[in-house]
Amino acid sequence: MQSLLRLLQDGQFHSGEELGAAVGVSRAAIWKRLQALEAELDLQIHKVRGRGYRLEKPLSLLAIDALTASSSVPVTLIQQVDSTNAEALRRLASGAIPPYLVIAEQQTAGRGRRGRSWASPFGENLYYSLVLRITGGMRQLEGLSLVVGLALLEALRGAGITEGGLKWPNDLLIDGRKIAGILLELAGDPADVCHVVIGIGVNINMRMAPASQVIDQPWTSLRQVLGEQVDRNQFVAGLNRQLEHYLQLHQQHGFASLRAQWEASHLWQGRMVTLATGAQATRGRVLGVDDAGALRLDVAGQERLFSGGELSLRLHDDS
């Protein structure tokens, strides 16, 4: 199946003979295989008499050789999985030794923050989970998700994005639209042996929300912003490089050393916001973040600190 898709990924016509010869089946069997691909991966394949078959939208497929070459940790590439974070945690539970990276072409139950789902169509975006062992206790976790946001922002810039920035704690927005998200999940006891799964989702070549999924917030993709298809293997290489750099800085010097850089990329610095904390809402002006990555808000003249992954920040209309 994969070799067929690889041939078709350019979006050009390929004859039944060519495809049949490449995968070693008869011309007649090819159409059956392509129909199975369409159904399984939610793809559109056009069949035109005399010309052959072509994908409605070209794809930039991930290639394990390229992914492995750009990573300093072992990589597993899965075609379809419920969630790369869930898979990374399962591997941990069955004895896999971090660091390692799990990447998928499609997620059927991609997880977002605060119980949301994450749209994960086949072959278009990036679903990336890096598992690390935490040896320095809670300190090593402080500000970690914000640092991952910085690395991801740099990777987006390396791919040609010039606008946009971060929204506390770790959303990446362009023109108010989400282009990427980060979900950290912990396994074990932070006071003892503990592992973190750094889950990263980046909208790379997505042009439309998948038919089967409603995306309940404004979104964009690298393709939409840049106006052209992006090579996903190259994007992963840039992301690997940036993560390695920023995670090393964070491990050696803590979040304090990256705090000013983070604030400089914070889109809502100085703005009036409403912070939803469970049933309560707190209104205040964003002062920045502290050395542990907690949000500093000026609430009626008093500085207050907020931390935790379950908080949601909204811009206030009059800011």
Catalytic residue among 113, 167, 232, 259: 113
Supply angle C-alpha 296, 220, 211, rounded to 5. 125
Q: Which stretch binds ligand BTN (CB under 6 A): 5-13, 41-49, 72-80, 123-131?
A: 123-131
Active-site residue, 51 included? no
Q: Is 111 in the site for ligand BTN (CB under 6 A)?
A: yes
Q: Is 85 in the site for ligand BTN (CB under 6 A)?
A: yes
Q: Is 182 in the site for ligand BTN (CB under 6 A)?
A: yes
Q: Which of 20, 165, 169, 199 binds ligand BTN (CB under 6 A)?
A: 199
Report the sign of the C-alpha dihedral through residues 130, 131, 135, 139, in that order.
positive
Number of residues that bind ligand BTN (CB under 6 A): 20
**Contact in structure between 132 and 107 (CB atoms under 8 Å):** no
Q: How far apart are CA 157 and CA 41, in angstroms?
A: 30
Q: Count how many Cα atoms sit within 13 Å of the Cα of residue 62 in the half-sphere of its side chain.
A: 28
Q: How far apart are CA 173 and CA 153, in angstroms?
A: 10
Is 111 annotated among the ligand-binding residues? Answer: yes
Q: Which stretch binds ligand BTN (CB under 6 A): 10-18, 70-78, 112-120, 230-238?
A: 112-120
Is 83 annotated among the ligand-binding residues? Answer: yes
Is 85 annotated among the ligand-binding residues? Answer: yes
Whichever of 20 and 181 has its CB closer to ligand BTN, that residue is 181
Q: Is 112 in the site for ligand BTN (CB under 6 A)?
A: yes
The radius of gyration of the chain's CA atoms, rounded to the nearest angstrom, is 21
Whichever of 34 and 247 has its CB closer to ligand BTN, that residue is 247
Residue of 85, 55, 39 lying closest to 182 (CA atoms): 85
Residue of 129, 154, 165, 125 lying closest to 242 (CA atoms): 154
Q: Is 116 in the site for ligand BTN (CB under 6 A)?
A: yes
Q: How far apart are CA 26 and CA 23, in angstroms?
A: 9
Q: What track of x and - describes contact with ligand BTN for positions 201 through 220 (by CB under 6 A)?
A: x-------------------
Is 107 annotated among the ligand-binding residues? Answer: yes
Q: Which residue is nearest to ligand BTN (CB)?
A: 181
Active-site residue, 314 included? yes
Q: Is 183 in the site for ligand BTN (CB under 6 A)?
A: yes
**Contact in structure between 106 and 79 (CB atoms under 8 Å):** yes
Q: How far apart are CA 13 and CA 237, in angstroms?
A: 30
Cβ at position 96, least distance to ligand BTN in Å: 16
Q: Which stretch binds ligand BTN (CB under 6 A): 108-116, 155-163, 188-196, 205-213?
A: 108-116
**Contact in structure between 101 and 75 (CB atoms under 8 Å):** yes
The binding site for ligand BTN (CB under 6 A) comprises 83-85, 107, 110-113, 116, 118, 127-129, 171, 181-183, 199-201
**Binding site as annotated, residues:** 83-85, 107, 111-113, 178
Catalytic residues: 113, 178, 314
**Binding site as annotated, residues for biotin:** 83-85, 107, 111-113, 178
